[in-house]
Chain A
Amino acid sequence: MQKIGVFVCHCGTNIAATVDVKAVVDALAKEPSVVFAADYPYMCSESGQNLIKDAIREHELTGVVICSCSPRMHEVTFRRAAASAGLNPYLVEVANIREQCSWIHKDKAEATEKAIILGRAAIAKALLNAPLIAGESPVTKRALVIGGGIAGIQTALDIAEAGFPVDIVEQKPTIGGKMAQIDKTFPTLDCSACILTPKMVECAQNENIRIFSYSEVESVSGFVGSFTVKIRKKARYVDEVKCTGCGLCTEKCPVKNVPNEFNLGFDNRRAVYIPFAQAIPKIAVIDPDRCNMLKNGKCGLCSRVCEAGAINYKQTDEIVEEHYGAIVAATGYEISDVTRYGEYAYTESKDVITSLEFERLTNAAGPTGGVLLRPSDGKHPHTIVFIQCVGSRCVLEKGKPYCSKICCMYTAKHAMLTREKYPDTEVYVFYIDVRTPGKNFDEFYRRAAEEFGVHYIKGAVGKIVPRADGTLDVQAADLIMDEQLRISADLVVLAAAIEPSKTARKLATMLTASMDTNDFFTEAHPKLRPVESPTAGIFLSGVCQGPKDIPETVSQAGACAAKVIGLLSKNKLTGNPCVAHSDELMCNGCSSCANVCPYGAITYLDKEFRMPDRTTKVRRVASVNPAVCQGCGACTVACPSGAMDLSGFSNSQIMAEVDAICR
């Protein structure tokens, strides 16, 4: 015999003003199996919870129904209260009579009637609740960080500091990411490499950190606490252990005309190369598309000059399988393709460049040794035009609807530094808005405009026409002065929109982590769980979740590490018991359920059944791994025989709710 207790919350006047709480109590008290019904101003308060606990003990309740706010708000609270009174927490049902009743209806009679029906549906469901016990699964105390930019580096360092081993997988031959390419950082103007490279070195030296550089994630299986990841270590053709990073090979290699990615193609590297002087790991890599030895077996010079004997032309990709408890996506961003904006003549003129290219042109370790020279003729530019929001905040198909967030500030930095170093240069910035919401950001921007005399013009550049004399005819509109402008520029810098790494989508599929339409990873909750993916055990660090600058990235990376540490410090994880289960007697073993399961939670066993005639029969039946199942229920509908059901949302429970509503 079931004994249900019903508790109706006033939520102050939030519910009680529109719903006649007493009438709801009276009506629900008359429902079969209801042995106790009461109302209280705030059920979620301590005394409200005590009312529930006392009733559970006093009336030996077998189920509890709380008519209150959304279960998304306080289901957990009430479950805990029930558990502390000795009732299985999954015997609690919440009827949502606030968000889905009192707050949307004005007529008290109507709202009261609806609240009663919602209460009945919850009672009907509660009567079919079964006590559920959450399963436990072990935690592999090792984390994987995918991406070795500042986000990944910081997350890895913080996790390692807490004593947990971390692996970084970086697709490039070195960690460092975009921050390694940047010259100075705003608003402090400290040298980017000076603050980044010590962290890179720390990664290499930390005993808890392993770096898989020039590597990619091949596949991911498993679930929170126990992921199995295959990592493809791409062939470097250089023995990682033997290579000392002396760089002799990179000086002797006869293939000299390979565009240098690190300097965005402004200069060349060899076919065997080390991306930059402070690369971590400082190990050479042979570009298989350009190396003569690998292409046609003719050369072998690097092998001859390498004193360590590290060159190995026969090296092949290696697949490493590792186990992790948590995975961090820190895949960062790329500069979006500016060739889509024909009006800016990026493809027509070498002197139209992106901001990241500008960083390389002003970086002391860059192709010009830090002297700002025009790419076309190597002359010093006297008029520079910066164009903001190239592809950002763009509603057109080719652009990005979002704000790239970092451009206003780095442009202020570029403009200021240019004016500081080359006072004879006129600098114009065309903007839609200048966005400076950060510590010391607005002060920084105002200094650029006021102290350094940068010309900020609110307006758009309509067209750039390269002239025969090598200048650029910048045709623009000044929206404040309401006039057309023409500037003869020597250099134009485009603040191109940033976009998530192209590898992110594939990775998201492997991780079963969701993404938004712009391919940024989705967080579990935009406000309250910003560094977790909705998929348990997957965490987000840096720009892969949304545009952010370095300080924000670092703080998010730290937050992400804290979440990972929190997970790894547990010895066991308690699962969600509302998972699917299959009735072996009814299962046909047809695989329909496994075909729709997004988690691979269903496997098949050949099981022996005793038949009525005392013979035995072996049948293929489905078996759900409760630690892997996330409880979506796709399998329950795919199953034609109805063998598959979902705890907490069973077929009979949902039908009981339907019946109660339609009654």
Chain B
Amino acid sequence: MQVNEEFVPTIVAFCCNWCSYAGADLSGTNRLPYPANVKIIRVPCSCRVNPTFILRAFQRGADGVIICGCHPGDCHYTTGNYYTRRRMTLLFSMLDYLGIERARTRVEWVSAAEGQKFAETMRSFVKDVTALGPNRRLEDLRCRKD
């Protein structure tokens, strides 16, 4: 067992094009750092995120999945994030019910103006997932890298 090698989780962040992706861009413009293991996937709206994408990420080796969208009420498409909110609440509850660690999934509302919040959110999410260690409960052994 290697003692010195720190666990660096793989994090997939789904960001809606209009608010959170722009918020992520703003944290870049303002040079607000967050860990490099966060990789962003741009989606038009948080409501585009299918639960299968989240499970797929865990299958392929993600240790945490975060979904970011416009604040409720500010959706570019008016109502998209309201559906996201229900879907993800129920999905996360189900994952918890199956004994999957709660802190591996998260939904955050980040506006285009919240570069600071985006960076802070990513830092805190990475911290939480790092504390959990590698995803073992929802991984596909065939996809294991180590």
Q: Which A residues contact B (CB, under 8 angstroms)?
A: 70-73, 96, 98-101, 103-107, 110-111, 113-114, 117-118, 121, 512, 514, 516-517, 522, 534, 578, 596, 598, 630-634, 636-638, 646, 649, 651, 654-655, 657-659, 661-663
Contact = CB atoms under 8 A, between A and B. Distances in A.
Nearest to B28: A99
A596 B85 CA distance: 13
B48 A633 contact: yes
Contact of A634 (B24, B33, B47, B74): B47
Interface string B33-52: 11010011111110111111
Contacts of B41: 121, 654, 657-658, 661
A636 B87 CA distance: 13
**Residue from A72, A99, A512, A663 whose CB has the most chain B CB atoms within 10 Å:** A99
A393 to B, nearest CB: 20
B106 interface: no
Given A114-B36, A114-B39, A632-B45, A637 B87 contact: yes
Interface secondary structure of A, over-half rule: helix
Contacts of B36: 101, 104-105, 107, 110-111, 113-114
A578 B44 CA distance: 9
A658 B48 contact: no
Nearest to A115: B36
Interface residues of B, number: 48
Nearest to B40: A100
A105 B33 contact: yes
Contact of B12 (A70, A111, A662): A662
A514 B48 contact: no
Given A514-B75, A598-B79, A598-B80, A631 B44 contact: yes
Given A99-B25, A649-B48, A662-B12, A632 B77 contact: yes
Contacts of A103: 28-29, 31
Interface of B: 10, 12, 17-18, 21-22, 24-29, 31-34, 36, 39-45, 47-53, 56-57, 60-62, 73-80, 83, 87, 119, 143
B50 A658 contact: no
B62 A662 contact: yes
Contacts of A73: 25
A70 B42 CA distance: 11
A117 B40 CA distance: 11
A318 B62 CA distance: 60
A111 B37 CA distance: 10
B29 A646 contact: no
A651 B28 contact: no
Contacts of A598: 77-80
A117 B43 contact: no
Contacts, number: 140
Contacts of B61: 662-663
A523 to B, nearest CB: 12
A663 B140 CA distance: 12
A107 B26 CA distance: 20
B48 A632 contact: yes
A99 B12 CA distance: 17
Contacts of B12: 658, 661-662
Given A105-B36, A110-B36, A634-B80, A99 B29 contact: yes
Contacts of B42: 71, 96
Contacts of B73: 517
Contact of A633 (B43, B51, B57): B43
B79 to A, nearest CB: 5
A634 B77 contact: yes
Contacts of A634: 45, 47-48, 77, 79-80, 83
Contacts of B47: 596, 632-634, 637
Given A104-B119, A633-B80, 15 more contacts: A70-B21, A70-B25, A72-B25, A99-B29, A100-B25, A103-B31, A106-B33, A514-B74, A516-B74, A598-B77, A631-B44, A633-B44, A636-B50, A651-B53, A659-B60
A633 B45 contact: yes
Contacts of A657: 41
Nearest to A103: B28
A637 B85 CA distance: 13
B10 A662 contact: yes
A654 B29 CA distance: 26
Contacts of B83: 596, 634, 637-638
B50 A646 contact: no
A106 to B, nearest CB: 7
Contacts of B26: 99
Nearest to A110: B36
B13 to A, nearest CB: 9
A98 B40 CA distance: 13
Contact of A658 (B57, B75, B80, B87): B57
7 contacts: A99-B24, A522-B74, A632-B80, A633-B47, A634-B79, A637-B48, A658-B62
B80 to A, nearest CB: 5
Nearest to A99: B28
Contacts of B77: 598, 630, 632, 634
Nearest to B48: A633
Contacts of A651: 50, 52-53
A517 B39 CA distance: 31
